[in-house]
Structure 1
Amino acid sequence: MDLDSWTDHGRVGIDSYSGNAYNAIDPNLFLEGSTYYIQFGSFWGDIYQVEMNSEATKAAGDSYNIAYDPSGDHAEEGSYMYSYGDYYYLFYSAGICCGYDTSLPAAGDEYKIKVCRSTSASGAFVDADGTACTDGGGTIVLESHGTVYGPGGQGVFTDPTLGPVLYYHYINTTIGYADDEAQFGWNTIDFSTGWPVV
């Protein structure tokens, strides 16, 4: 496939303007049956979702909030939806992602991967304690440990041999903290408890 085979369908109807509740970045397109959804957003009002038209080229309705941290600067972004078993899992990054070489965050404020789940692709999403994802909920999937620092920017795919795999970027503290020194990481996911464990 080359670039000439693509067709520009114009704006999808999700835009960032001053005064909007959301920051229209980090889109993740998800197909459930014949319905497309886009999850998007970062900081501001955190993570939103909107149903798309049947071609997935335009928003088909109003966006709605599916994850929000009411504390601090609302540092949630980069959502990724994954269906497994009876649930839809909303993975997302929380915390400070970048610039560690010039300003290291307070312990625990760095990037980490969290998750909430729902029996519906459109929510409502809750964490393992039952706290709504729109009310600061979120169960930690992967956080700093050992030489792994600030994992995030994640996605999930199904490997034909390994099953569900979480992939992400992170800082290896033995290499360096600069953004251009970030490493690629991956772990298989165990869903046997109903919650993803790596």
Structure 2
Amino acid sequence: MKSLLPLLLLSAGLVGCTSLASKSKEVDDKVVYANPVIDYSLPDPTIIKGDDGYFYLYATEDIRNVPIHRSKDLLDWKLIGTAFTDSTRPDFEPNGGIWAPDINKIGNKYVLYYSMSVWGGEWTCGIGVATADKPEGPFTDQGMLFRSNGIGVQNSIDPFYIEDGGKKFLFWGSFRGIYGIELSDDGLSVKKGAEKHQVAGTAYEGTYIHKRGDYYYFFASIGTCCEGLKSTYTTVVARSAHLFGPYVNRTGETMMDNHHEVLIHKNDAFVGTGHNSEIVSDANGHDWVFYHAVSVKHPEGRVLMMDRVDWVDGWPSVKSSSPSVESEKPVF
């Protein structure tokens, strides 16, 4: 028997008691969810599973701060607070907004990298870092890692942290080349004497690198993120046998020359599909990725989307290469 289970989306302003859920229903004994997972603006998502078994999701949403959501199943989310308060938020860029956070666990600390910029401030923007004992915070700002005019990379935003071979690295950049550099053991500063290396060309931002088998998969976004229904944001991917590349598409053309494979593009329901999160797995070993998009029906803001990632012939794939409207939900 088919039954409809409507779930109300409450206001995001009720911190501590806000429950957010995707619409779901039973269809032929399979429970499905509907995109968007959270139906208000929540761009640039980043996610981590905490030691308490909950998933924690951080995003840009309000450039004055970083909202934190919590969920057990990737679908029913509760807004539990923000990474900073007005008195503790970073301030190394005067009047700067906090963009595109990246959450990680380094040692026994939760480490949040963030961009800080004013729109158009491509030589004064930079990347900072904050730490907390718990994923829900409170986070303590540890200050600026670097800014564009110091490290010599224009538009130094969109950080991504990865550990590889016992070393710690940060990748970053936005439409002026993607670069990587080694960090200190605690991840809170650039390693003394480390040199930056460019790994991708000028078509990309929103870097995420995922290691699977023998390959590193470099996910990124191309196009325009923030023009409503005119947004051309598209999620793309290339792969390499080495962390610092070369990253290539299926025919061997490199990301340094702005070549890639398209992973998620627009459809009739959603446009501007980009800036994906880390990949997370459910109890059945299926992989899932969050990203943001603009709803054609309700184009205000960039809503939170989720889709399953399958692996076909050594490459990540999303069904129809575009956002699902309705799909079978993760299993936990």
Matches within 5 A, 1:110-125: 110-125=232-247
Pairing 1:33–2:165 present: yes
Contact 2:216 2:243 in 1 (8 A): yes
Identity of aligned residues (%): 24
Pairing 1:49–2:199 present: no
Query: So what's the TM-score if we normalise by structure 1?
Result: 0.82
Contact 1:113 1:143 in 2 (8 A): yes
Q: Which residue number in structure 1 is paired with residue 263 of structure 2?
A: 141
Pairing 1:66–2:199 present: yes
CA RMSD of aligned residues (A): 2.1
Q: Which residue number in structure 2 is paired with residue 98 of structure 1?
A: 226
Q: Which residue number in structure 1 is paired with residue 311 of structure 2?
A: 191
Contact 1:22 1:48 in 2 (8 A): no
Deviation at residue 133 of structure 1 after TM alignment: 0.7
Q: Which residue number in structure 1 is paired with residue 286 of structure 2?
A: 163
Whole-angstrom distance in 2 between the partners of 1:159 and 1:22: 35
Whole-angstrom distance in 1 between the partners of 2:288 and 2:243: 20
Contact 2:274 2:293 in 1 (8 A): yes
Structure 1 spans left out of the alignment, 5+ residues: none
Deviation at residue 116 of structure 1 after TM alignment: 1.2
Contact 2:210 2:218 in 1 (8 A): yes
Query: So what's the TM-score if we normalise by structure 2?
Result: 0.51
Deviation at residue 190 of structure 1 after TM alignment: 1.2
Whole-angstrom distance in 2 between the partners of 1:62 and 1:15: 15
Q: Which residue number in structure 1 is paired with residue 298 of structure 2?
A: 175
Pairing 1:77–2:196 present: no
- Find the structure with the greater CA-based Rg: 2
Structure 2 SS opposite 1:189: strand
CA change 1:87–1:3 in 2 (3 A) is same
Structure 1 SS opposite 2:147: coil
**How many residues get paired?**
180
Deviation at residue 7 of structure 1 after TM alignment: 6.8
Structure 1 SS opposite 2:310: coil
Whole-angstrom distance in 2 between the partners of 1:24 and 1:133: 18
Structure 2 spans left out of the alignment, 5+ residues: 1-133, 319-332
Deviation at residue 41 of structure 1 after TM alignment: 0.6
Residues 127-179 of structure 1 show CA distances to partners (whole Å, capped at 9, x for unaligned) of 12211111111110001112121100112322232532121000110112x3x
Write out the 4+ residue segments of structure 1 that deviate beyond 6 Å after TM superposition. none
Contact 2:246 2:254 in 1 (8 A): yes
